[in-house]
Amino acid sequence: MTTTRTPERGGYKGIELLEIESLAPTTKQIERNEGRRIPDKWNADDVIPCVVCGRPLNPKVQATWWIEAVEGSPLILFPRDAGIDAGSLDDGSYMGCHPIGSTCAKKIPMRYRWKTKGEA
């Protein structure tokens, strides 16, 4: 389950942020995901992990899901439809945009994620 919160002060005042702490896997699951063997057909230098679960993302996939994080512990997401640049509101906790896997993307409301086409 995810929860939303609307800060009453600070750079993100009045914006409905999404806290996804409940989506985060256990430490054991993260370690297992980070330790997954990368298939030989993937270029290991091109592999990056999902920012939510740590599972390696396939660099050959044509489309990638993204989130924009404004805090990291727990992971707090910024809505795409806020009409302003989250980086311009940075209060020191802004973390930028990060790729996520399709499994994690399914658990995050569309308002807080978006998809881009890759070049592979």
Over range 42-57, report the average pLDDT.
81
Helix boundaries (H) for the chain: 27-34, 102-105
Over range 12-30, report the average pLDDT.
80
b (16+ CB within 10 A) / e for 73-82: eebbbbbeeb
**pTM of the complete model:** 0.74
Q: Tell me how far apart the alpha carbons of residues 7 and 15 are, in angstroms, rounded to a whole number.
A: 7
Instruction: Point out the least confidently predicted range of 7-11, 28-32, 94-98.
Output: 7-11
Provide CB contacts within 8 A for 93, sequence distance 6+: 70, 71, 72
Structure tokens, 71? 């805090």
| pLDDT digits 0-9 by tens, 62-97 | 668 999 888 777 778 888 888 777 777 766 778 888
Local structure of residue 26 (DSSP, 8 states): P
